[in-house]
Structure formats: C-alpha cells, structure tokens
Amino acid sequence: MTSYIIRRIGQIVLVLFVVSVLIFSLLQLAPGDPATVLAGPGTSLEELEAIRQDLGLNKPIHMQYLTFVKKLFNGTLKSYAYKQPVISIIAERFPASLELGLFAVILATIVSIPAGIISAIWQDSPADYTVTTVALLGISTPVFWTALMLMLLLSIQLDALPVSGRGATLWGFSIFTLDGLRHIVIPMLALSSVQMAMNTRLTRSSMLEVLREDYITTARSKGLKESVVILGHAFRNAVLPVMTNVGMMVGTIVAGAVLTETTTAWPGLGRLMISSINRRDFAVIFALTLLMSFGYVLSYLIVDILYAYADPRITYD
C-alpha cells in the first residue's frame, strides 16, 4: 500500500509538472506583454525594463518558467493586477469557495443518496419516475440558469433573499453570520442541484445492480428485516461508486464554481479566475490552474485509497 501511494504521488507530481508547462506555454502564446499590463498606461521605458527584469521576462523561456515556479513556491510571485503576492490573494478568496463548495456537496449527498435508494427499491413506481425525471432534468439544466431562476424567484419576485454577493463574514466565513447565511442559499442550491442529480442517478443504478445479486435473495430468505437487507447488505455494496463521485465533487471545490460564482457575484476562486483571465493576470491564472489541478488529482488519489479500505477485495500492489 505504501509503495502504491508513493508511486501515485510520483505520478501526481508528473501530471502537475506537465500541466504547469502546458499552462505556461499557453500563457506565452497569449497576446499582450505582461510588463505593460502590470505597469499600466503612461510608464516610462526604464520602468518597464525594470519590471521585466524583476519578472525575469528578458530571460530565455525555460529560465522564465523556472523563476515563475520558484517565485510561486516561495510566495513572492505577484499578481499583475493586484500588485500583491498571488498566495495571499488566493488565500483571501479560498474560504468563500470552500464554504460554498462544501455545503453544496453536503446538501447534494444528503438528498441524493436517499432519493437514489428509494427510486431503486421501488423501481418503476411513481416515486421512481418522479426521481428519475427530476434527476434527468437536473443534469440537463445549466447551473448558471438555475442560479438565475433562483434569483428571479427568491430574490426578485418573493424578495426573500439578497440577489447576489456574499454579505457579512466572520473569521473569513459567511456561514457564521445570519446575513452571510442568507447570501449563500442561492449559490449553494444552484451548485448542488447538478451534483444532486448526478449522484442520485449513480446511487440508483448502483443500487439496482446490487439488488439483483444472489446474496440479497439469500439475505431476504434468511428472514432478515427489509431495512437490514437494504441498508446493511445492499447499500454497503453499492456505496463504492457513489463514494467515488462524492470524492470527485469534493475535489472540484478547489476549482471553485466558475459559473455559479460569476452569476451570483460570489467572490470565490472561480470568479477570481474569470476576472484574471479578463485582465490577463498571468501569475494568478498560473497559480490558480495549478491549484485546481492539484485538487483534482489529490481527490482521485484519496478516493482510490479509501476504496481499498472500504472494500477488502481491492488491493494495490
């Protein structure tokens, strides 16, 4: 197991390296000179040259890449637009994305697993039809439109919730204040609707597969209570794919919810990404993309490791 984890970590480092090279070369191809963007209009040539020197823009490309990465890791890589270290900008926005993503995943998991189980055990019943249709509608609906509709309904028509923004925060999180809680409802519902739909479909199909197995019939014929059969025997075996999906949803938290955050003006990492792309803030784009990739690959690894613990049949050598 240990050797497997070490090998996987090696792979992760390799993947992140390729991603960083990819993103860096992509940014090199982008039109516009970062120094002029950073300096703003009306800067003298000497000042521009000084900035280039500082960023290492007048060195060969591979040296530039190395300085970029080095500066990123010792925390001195500065955003072109904010003139602050990238690390602190990301750290400032991260709590917003974290709480939004985490609560969306939790809500999605709480709703989707019972819904999926119910629709699997009463297959082809009206309840099943309702659940599958709603879930299919859920995966067919763009998340930003869901957000728009919630804003239209809850904020504009009913005037029950604030339209957008994050509201008051305490210790960097808005869930600790009433105002913040009122603000998080819409983005959280929108973001979790898609995850909910996907996870419901997955739970249902995975349950259906297990319910057909012989050991379920055996369990029933032993006279076990139906609830024990469903939860103890069937669900425990059906939970693996569902767990994978939840793990991946957690991994996407770091990526921020680009569309949801943009629509509801939620000041998280996704929105930072969009504004950085619009401003050609290469340093922030570079750091953010790496962070997001890291979140993805790390969640894959954790899911794989959890797999081995949850299912004794799975061994990694």
Partner 1 sequence: MTEEAKLQRKRKKLSRLTFILSLIFPGLGHFNERKVKAGILLSSFATVQIVVLIVGLFNNRMAWFGGALDHVIATWASVLFILSFWVLSYVGIRRSFLKQESGGYWTRAARGFMRHKKGLVGAFIVVLVVWGALFAPIVAPYKPLKMDLMHTVTGPGGGGHPLGTDNFGRDILSRIIYGSRVALGVGGGATLLNMVFGGLLGLLGGYYKGIIDSSLMRFLEVLNSIPYIIFALLILSVFGAGVMQIIIVLGIYGLQAARIIRSEVLSVREEDYIMACEATGAGDFRKLFNHIFPNSMASLLVVTTMRIGINIIVVAGLSFLGFGVKPPTPSWGAMLQSAQSYMTVAWWMAVFPGLAIVLTVFGFNLLGDSLRDVLDPKMSASGR
Name the site residues for partner 1 (rule: CB under 8 A): 11, 15-16, 18-19, 22-23, 26-27, 29-31, 123, 136-137, 139-145, 148-149, 151-152, 156, 163, 205, 208-209, 212, 252, 255, 258-259, 262-263, 273-274, 277-278, 280, 285, 289, 292-293, 296-297
Q: Which is nearer to partner 1, 44 or 278 (CB)?
A: 278
Q: How far is the CB of 60 from partner 1 (least distance, A)?
A: 21
Rounded Cα distance, 115 and 136, in Å: 13
Determine contact, residues 196/112, Cβ cutoff 8 Å.
Answer: yes
164 secondary structure, DSSP code: S
Q: Which is nearer to partner 1, 174 or 293 (CB)?
A: 293
Q: Which is nearer to partner 1, 30 or 66 (CB)?
A: 30
Q: Which is nearer to partner 1, 18 or 310 (CB)?
A: 18
Q: Which is nearer to partner 1, 109 or 264 (CB)?
A: 264
Q: How far is the CB of 203 from partner 1 (least distance, A)?
A: 12
Q: If you write DSSP's letter for every residue of 262-304 in order, what string do you get?
A: HHHT--SHHHHHHHHHHHT-HHHHHHHHHHHHHHHHHHHHHHH
H/E segment holding residue 105 = helix 86-121
Residue length, the chain? 317
CA angle, corner 242, sides to 241 and 243, nearest 5? 90
| Centroid of chain to Cα 53 | 36
Rounded Cα distance, 303 and 309, in Å: 10
Least Cα distance to 234 among 204, 210, 205 occurs for 210
Q: How far is the CB of 215 from partner 1 (least distance, A)?
A: 16
Q: Which is nearer to partner 1, 104 or 259 (CB)?
A: 259
Q: How far is the CB of 29 from partner 1 (least distance, A)?
A: 5
